[in-house]
Amino acid sequence: MNEFQERLKELIIDNKLNRLQLAKRIDISSTTINGYFNKNYYPTIKIGIKIANFFNCSLDYLFGLSEEYVNHNKNTGKFIDNLTQILKAENISVSRALNDMNMSECNYYRWKNGMFPKTINLIEIAKHFNVSIDYLVGRT
């Protein structure tokens, strides 16, 4: 079980829910919820935000990057703006940062055109720059 699966299981149990109840409450299919446990994949960041909002926890807690449960649910910007600020503060080019994280520059241009990164990419970026996923997606 990955960290996300473990945290989601704990949150469901602690809130006296089952997978079907959670799916209904956050308006996604039960098949999707079951897939996180049975197929070992991460949710899209939009669904991750729905789950974190429902349980009032941080994305970093949900994805196992932090033991801090706190929710910083205050939108402060877009992902690409926050990433650009990080790169500028670190004085690192987009090409170098993506290369260091083994990511394609195509990703950056997709993000720049409004697409959200895959959850696994957000986790890698957060780890690489030692920032929270919540910060990256504008929840803090």
Tokens 């803090």: give the residue: 140
Is pLDDT of 106 > 80? Answer: yes
CB-based contacts of 125, cutoff 8 Å, min separation 6:
83, 101, 117, 131, 136
Give the pLDDT score at 114: 83
Residue ranges of the chain that CATH labels 1.10.260.40: 3-62, 79-136
Tokens 């690409």: give the residue: 80
CATH superfamily of 79-136: lambda repressor-like DNA-binding domains (1.10.260.40)
* Number of Cβ within a 10 Å radius of residue 13: 10
Say what the pTM is. 0.80
Give the pLDDT score at 27: 95
CA torsion through residues 86, 91, 97, 101, sign? negative
Domain 3-62 has CATH 2.40.160.150: no
Percent of the chain with pLDDT over 90: 68
- Kindly report, residue by residue over 25-54, the tens digit of the pLDDT: 999 999 999 999 888 789 999 999 999 999
- Kindly report, residue by residue over 107-126, the tens digit of the pLDDT: 888 898 888 899 999 999 99
Retrieve residue 87's tokens: 């790169």
pLDDT class of 17 with cuts at 50, 70, 90: very high
- Kindly report, residue by residue over 64-84, the tens digit of the pLDDT: 998 888 765 555 568 899 999
